[in-house]
Amino acid sequence: MTATTEAPAATAPAPEIGRDRRRKEDQRLITGRTRWTDNITLPGMVHMAMVRSPFAHAEIARIETSAAASAPNVIGVFTGADFGDELGVCINAWPLTPEQVTPNHSPMPADRVSFAGEIVAVVVARTAAEARDAAELVDVEYVELPAALDLKEAAEDTVLAHPDAGTNKSALWVFDSAESGTGGNVEEAIEKARTDGIVIEREYRQQRLIPAFMEPRSVVVDPTGEQLTMWSATQIPHILRFALAATTGVPESKIRVIAPDVGGGFGGKLQATPEEWITWAVARRVNKPVKYTETRSESLLSAHHGRDQWQKLTLGATQDGTVTGFKVDLLADLGAYVAIVGGGVPVLGAFMFNAIYKFPAYRFSCQTVLTNKAWTDAYRGAGRPEATYAVERMMDELAAEVGVDPLEIREKNWIKHEEFPFTTVAGLTYDSGNYEAATAKAKEMFGYDALRAEQKKRRDAGDPVQLGIGISTFTEMCGLAPSRVLGSLDYGAGGWEHASVRMLATGKVEVVTGASPHGQGHETAFSQIVADRLGVPFEDVEILHGDTQVSHKGLDTYGSRSLTVGGEALVRAADKVIERAKPIAAHLLEANVDDVEFSAGTFSVKGTDQGKTIQDVALATFAAHDYPEGIEPNIDAESTYDPVNFSFPHGTHLCAMEVDTETGRTTMRKYVACDDVGTIINPLIVSGQVHGGLVQGIAQALWEEAVYDDSGTLVSGSFVDYLLPTAADTISFDIDHTTSPSTTNSLGTKGVGEAGTIASTPAVVNAIVDAVRHLGVSDITMPCTPERVWKAINTSSSTGGPTEGAAMPHFDADESGTSSTEGAGA
């Protein structure tokens, strides 16, 4: 069944890596002709609707379900009391300290609700509409309790979010470069700067945001049959299976979790949700498949939120603007519960406040705080946008103080390209980078000098519309993550990724990845990698993912990890296939294995024109008629790759904003992003990721904010009030790249999934402040609405922001559960 083919002609097929391939999955995703969770219908399936608390904090005195139970086609009405332990608990997989205060998180509490939107009862009915109608008939009597809403006040324990916890302070986590041996003493550096240098002190607000994915969350559970199957619009099918097994006692082997096509997540679907837990328990109780799909309003109200921090920053520098120390004190709002990785999100930023700079001393402390608002957790960038915002805003403040161009201050302090690899004051080793190259290219694309000249002209003329230039020379740590580093940070899981590559009899290639895409285009980019490695046509590679029965091992998609970790696992598995195929090819070619080499999909005998393609070997393996003695007929292979380091993409983003000083209206004039994400697999996908990321970061700067009123009601509970931008609200971005390949993975890639979001927020706010700095403005609270910009210009408040409580309370390392770390040590 095999034929000897001629060795390939000298011209190899065009390389796939670096090629602008349109995404193969888009055909089905864009037309909707695919399996979204809500499209799934099973025989006998029933539907569920939730009854949610309108109060932020209340005791549940009584729940009257009889009217709902007798509504048409209602199958059952359940409350937390109907289940008890059967419901399981929502897990926190990243306790920051051993002493962390972690309130018990029942998916459906029976006695007390802790945020507006929490589920108190569910109705199961024949159709979703009938379930929703009947849910209206559930009568809940609440006894309202005082709610802890303001972050600073909550940190003072004036009102308790969970009275039985005795405090709202969940965990205090500290990193000090003097203690970890990665740098000097920050207090001494700042004291010295107070005497003979410059000290800049600022307090910034990271407003609460809501990850607004395109597809609301949806879950179907089928309890019939041998296995329990859950379909969920999730980013983390593997972690979900583990969490279900760990909290319900059902063996993992009996649980199948499927993430079918998932319409976006942005971190918001990196969660084991009450909705999933309840659907699971209810399906088992009624012994029928149950579906629950949230409405958009429910999504905004109760899917986890992101950011929500106060940042108190102190930077010391010499008179010429060389930074000598940076001290960061955070208050981070966890909301009502410590979510799956919620407590750890600020700590992901802890290693990034020094960004691309050579700060000699650094101290970070973060107090996480419980409040009666929706719980917070990862949102695109998770900790790194907050850190980048703080440091990039502070570098602008320093430049203003010294009286030089903000780019000059950055250049003075950044790591020079010849200094890589560089171990930072936070203990991370950046493998590669070239800030000079990215900045030079961005400046040229931007027309930096011309825009500065125009800015001066407008300023001199007193133009009512002023021009500002904002800079963000960001870096971030992604490719989460080396398992040993995660272990040192008390994170509950590892950071490896798994892949298998199977050669099918027809010569097609079936690839299974443990990454779980939800909009990132893995099927295309991963096909390109495998096609190049095995020398097979791109079209012949099929990528399977997101089903724990198909992809039995994996750690899913978040932290811009899928390419650097999952892609490397693919490469290693493909290389193993080639190694396994080589002796078979040698046998078929009647050659010594040492004389056989592999190139562009063909095994050939050195010095001859005889060869066997990898497809020939696959077919020979399938038939196994003519196989070497003692070798099993199988050339498939798998690999589990644990990264040796994070990946550190960086870039220079430049933004020009026009500010109408009479109305406060801001208009984006130009945005340039020059990113370095190492080797690029698919430039088209990378551009898409950067575009989407930019808009999300710009939205934080200008529009988006989750706002609660004084009683704890989410007033930005629909897209009328939560200002999610559309394409029409943005301009056309100018993006390009420089390339300094990563030295820690064989492809040289760095992550891109969060880069745009991390970089863009400070670029925009820096531009707005730059436009009106000469009018006495040094800060504007985000989102920089026209009203806030106008107020900052026209009142004594330099921020234009709301007065949100007093100065930030200070928490000393000794006061409560302190943990310091030796640094991430990657």
Binding residues vs ligand MCN (CB under 6 A): 213, 264-267, 380, 518-522, 525, 557-564, 677-682, 685-686, 689, 692, 749-754
Instruction: Name which of 423, 332, 340, 436 is nearest 386 in CA terms.
Output: 332
For the chain, the 3-state helix, strand and coil shares in percent, each to the nearest 5, are 30, 25, 45
Closest alpha carbon to 173 in 324, 305, 311, 363: 363
Q: Which is nearer to ligand MCN, 360 or 748 (by Cβ)? A: 748
Residue carrying structure tokens 């009601």: 713
Phi, psi of 485, rounded to the nearest 5 degrees = -70, -45
d(CA 37, CA 230): 10
Min dist CB 268 to ligand MCN, Å, is 8
Least separation, in Å, of the C-beta of 690 and ligand MCN?
9
Judged by beta carbon, residue 230 or residue 686, the one nearer ligand MCN is 686
CB 202 within 8 A of CB 801: no
Residue type, 527: S
How far is Cα 273 from Cα 262, in angstroms, rounded to an integer? 16
Among residues 357 and 526, whose Cβ is nearest to ligand MCN?
526
Which runs of E-coded beta strand occur in 241-361?
255-258, 290-293, 306-317, 323-335
Going from the C-alpha of 519 to that of each of 9, 18, 371, 515, the distances in angstroms are 38, 20, 32, 12
Q: At its nearest, how many Å lie between ligand MCN and the CB of residue 648?
A: 12
- The 10 Å CB-count burial string (b at 16+, else e) for 477-492 is bbbbbbeebbeebbbb
How far is the CA of 299 from the CAs of 212, 569, 665, 676, in angstroms?
8, 34, 30, 34
* Separation of CA 502 from chain center: 30
φ/ψ (deg, to 5) at 114:
-120, 0
Question: C-beta of 645: minimal distance to ligand MCN in Å?
Answer: 15
Please give the C-alpha separations between residue 511 and each of 500, 530, 578, 801, in angstroms, as whole numbers.
6, 8, 14, 51
- The widest CA-to-CA distance across the chain, in whole angstroms, is 87
Least distance (Å) from ligand MCN to the CB of residue 480? 8
**Shortest distance in whole angstroms from residue 131 CB to ligand MCN:** 28
Q: Minimum Å distance from CB 415 to ligand MCN?
A: 21
Closer to ligand MCN at the Cβ: 20 or 595?
A: 20
- CB nearer to ligand MCN: give 23 or 52: 23
Nearest approach, Cβ of 680 to ligand MCN (angstroms)? 4
Rounded (5°) CA angle 730-736-738:
145
Nearest approach, Cβ of 411 to ligand MCN (angstroms)? 25
Side-chain half-sphere CA neighbours of 337 within 13 A: 28
If the CB atoms of residues 563 and 777 are measured against ligand MCN, the closer one turns out to be: 563
Neighbours of 407 (CB within 10 A): 20
CA separation for the pair 432, 437 (Å, rounded): 12
- Please, which residue, 115 or 558, has the CB nearer to ligand MCN? 558
Closest to ligand MCN by CB, 180 or 689: 689
Residue 338, φ and ψ in degrees, nearest 5: -90, 110
Return the number of the residue (114 or 271) whose C-beta is nearest ligand MCN: 271
> Quick one: 2 exposed, middle or buried, by C-beta within 10 A (0-12, 13-18, 19+)?
middle
Nearer to ligand MCN, 134 or 677 (CB): 677
Give 324 or 696: the residue with its C-beta nearer to ligand MCN. 696
Helices (H), 371-492: 384-402, 406-413, 435-446, 448-461, 483-488
Cβ 200 to ligand MCN shortest distance, Å: 31
Cβ 423 to ligand MCN, closest distance in Å?
A: 23
Closer to ligand MCN by Cβ: residue 322 or 564? 564
Contact 714, 147 (CB under 8 A): no
Q: Least CB distance from residue 543 to ligand MCN, whole Å?
A: 10
Between 264 and 825, name the residue whose CB sits nearer to ligand MCN.
264
Distance (Å) of CA 688 to CA 16, 200, 545, 668, 695: 18, 37, 21, 20, 11
Nearest distance from C-beta of residue 370 to ligand MCN, angstroms: 25
